[in-house]
Structure formats: C-alpha cells, structure tokens
Amino acid sequence: MEKVPSDLLDITVATWTVNDVSKWLELQGFGTDLRDLFSTHEIDGYTLLRISENDLRQPPVSLVKLGTIKHLIGAIADLKRTIIAKVDVSKPGMPVAEEDAEGRLGGGGGALGPTKTGTTDTVLAHQLGVSSDGGLDTSDSDTEETESPTASQASRGPSLKFPSQHRRLPPLKPEIGKAVLAFAYFLIVTVVTSFVMVIVHDRVPDMEKYPPLPDFVLDNVPLIPWAFDLCEVAGFLLAVVWTFVLLFHKYRFILLRRFFVLMGTIFLLRSVCMLITSMSVPGRHLKCAGKNFGDLPTKVQQALVIARGFGMSIQGVRTCGDYMFSGHTVVITVLNHFITEYTPKRHRLIHLSSWTLNLFGMFFILAAHEHYSIDVFIAFYISSRLFLYYHTMANTDILRRHPRRANLYFPLYAFFEAEVYRVVPNEYEWPFMLSWPYVKFFREEEQIVDNNGKPKGC
C-alpha cells in the first residue's frame, strides 16, 4: 500500500471531500472508472469509512470484479488501521486493535473484526463524529479535558472518550465575496420590504369600519406611549454588542453572511405576509389611515426614505399597515441569537443581558400597542426557528458535508455554506494591523484542535 499523503491524514478522514477520496483511490492504484464511479455517487470520507463489501456488490455501485472488490476492501481496512494507529492506546480502557495470524486487525467479523477491549468502531467513532453505538457525540464543546470515568462507568466497560490529542485542520476560508453577495441580497430585500410597506399603507383599513381586533394582551396592558422608543433603544444596544462581536471574531465574514442571509430571508417572508392580508390598526391612538403616494416614482422615493431610516420611529419613520409580523421583534430576536451563538458559553452575563433586552423589547412593543400580540409572537417564532434550522444544518455533520441536500429547506444554504466544512469556533483576534504582541499568535494559518475536533481557545 502506498503511503497516504500527509495533506490528507492531517485532515480528519471523515471530512474528506469527494475529490480527496478520488485522490486516495488514485494513490492505491485504482483506475479512472472506479474513481469516476465514486465521484458520481458522491462517496466522501464519511461514506468511505462506513462502506461495506455488500455496498460495493449491490446497486447502485454494483462492482462485479472480485479482485477490485477485495483490493478496495483491503485498502479501506488499511486506512482504518492507519486511523487507529494515530490513537493513543497507552491509557487504560482505550481500544487496542489486535492482528491475527494473517496480519488483519481483529479475528473476524468484517474487514477489521473485534478488538481487545472494545470494537474498532469505538476507535473510528471520533473520525465519524459519533459514539460507537451510532449516536451523536454530545460532549460539551467547552470541555478541555476528558473526565475520569466513575466507578459505574468502569463497570460498564471502557470509556468511549478519547484522550486529548492535537492535530491541525486547514483554516476556514473567509470568502469575502460571498459576504458581499449576502449584503447585496439583504439590501435588495430591504428595498423590496420598504416598497411593500408603502403599498400596504395605501390599503390600511378604515378604523371606523374595521375597529381594532380583540387582543388578550393589549386589552389587559395599559398603553405606555414612550415604550416603543425603548424597544428601539434595546435594539440599538444589541446592535452595538453584535458589532463588537463581529469586529473581534476571527471568522467575522462567515458570521456576516449568515446574518445578512437570515435577516434578508425573514424580511422577504414578512413582505409576503404584509402583502397578502391587511390587518386593522391595533389601537385608536395610532393616527393611521390609507395614504395614496401617487405614481410609481413617488412610491419608490418613499420606500427609499423608509429603507434609509431602517423603519425606526426614532429616525422619523412612521408606517401603517405593516402588522403581520413585527419587524422590530425580528431584528432584536435575530441579534440576540447571533450574540449568544457566537460568544463563548462562559460569558453568561452577555447572554443574560442579550435575552433580557430581547424579551423586554418585545414587551415594550406590546406596551406601546404598536402591534398585535400575534404579530410579536409569530415574529419571534419565525426568527428563532429559522436561525436554529440554519445553524442546525451548518453544525450537523452530514448536512455540512452535503449542503445541497438542504436545498429543500433553505435554498441559499448550499451556496453560502459550501466551503464551511466544520463548526465555526468562537475564536477572537485583534482586527487591526498594529504592532500588537498577540497578533502573530491569533493569525496563525492553522488551527490547533484536540482529538474531538474541539478548537483550543475560546
């Protein structure tokens, strides 16, 4: 067997791309037919480690040459042996692979067979990103060291956690061009949303004919006229915190494009909701009535005024008819989720303050009777769910390696996350090119991570 190149072994085998697998097959002496077949069926490193002889014989691969099948199974076994050899087995309870008389790992049961204190699947669990029983690896991302097994754990058998080791992973690409495209997408959606707000202002229902709808919260919370300004102040404070997070985060451009993509998508959905149904004004204190802005150029000009002021009342922007759903709730909720996601877990004060501003901002909207309760609730639900769905896909191993499988759920995801092959760690750096003693340390080209794929640092 030819030696696996270091540029591949330095990367976790489970994160090999289809091209990496093709390169490995070429080094093993396989022809272009097999490499093209693997590329056609998108067999990456994760799939390669789990492939079996039956998988190769059955459709859709359907290999028929016995020599090719045996050669390939042997090469995969050698690759797994190389992975196992990189694991420190000097500690008690760690899986140790034995070789039988024919030099194969284990005595039977497949390409590798059993091991001395566990199974080979236990050793490969780290490479696959799962526990040996097939479940997800749920170890805390902030944990630096593996805890010692308790007596009850020892009685059940060897621990499935591996000792902390170091390996180098290539850095995540900033992809500034994609960040610019995401910003352009956000700007376009902002203008579209502003134009829709002008249209719905023309269609505001007459308050005499369509009085405010019954609302449980608004009917029981007294009107506080200045509360809406406090909501915008809360949003401003969250925006300041988020700006500082972006400024010092090492992967600021990945965060930026995720922020713009999510904000743009949510507001695009809001535009559709506003355009479909015009709700009655939630309170008689709001001096809202249908207003015709005239021809198309006048409407576009008014839309630009709204976009320039970000739809904020403290900027002098007053709109009517844009009730389903609350744009202010969207902004403070998305800002809150991004702040809590991209700051370390140990910074509980930041997280608590962020959630407090989010919840109080929603209350201030209702206290000012600027929106119905359903507007605020739906805005919070949609914003938080889309954030969680997007980041679940980005942080889930199988969807991260095959982003196009998420097209059905989030069409923009495949394009913007195609090169993000692992979870974005919360690392910070000095953003300015000054003579700062830690700049060189922060700007290392490669990132040190432990054997569980957890970054060392923040």
Catalytic one of 328, 369, 397, 450: 328
Decide if 375 is catalytic.
Answer: yes
Catalytic one of 201, 371, 397, 450: 371
Largest Cα separation within the chain, whole Å, is 92
Decide if 71 is catalytic.
Answer: no
Catalytic one of 121, 322, 375, 397: 375
Whether the Cβ atoms of residue 158 and residue 95 lie closer than 8 Å to each other: yes
Q: Give CA angle at 94 (91, 96), nearest 5°.
A: 110
Q: Which among 436, 444, 424, 457 is positioned nearest to 172, based on CA atoms?
A: 424
Q: Which among 334, 322, 317, 315 is positioned nearest to 261, based on CA atoms?
A: 334
- Print burial letters for 100-129: b (CB count within 10 Å at least 16), e (below 16): eeeebbbeeebbbbbbebbbbbbbbbbbbb
Enumerate the β-bridge partners of residue 119: 114
Which residues are tagged catalytic? 328, 371, 375
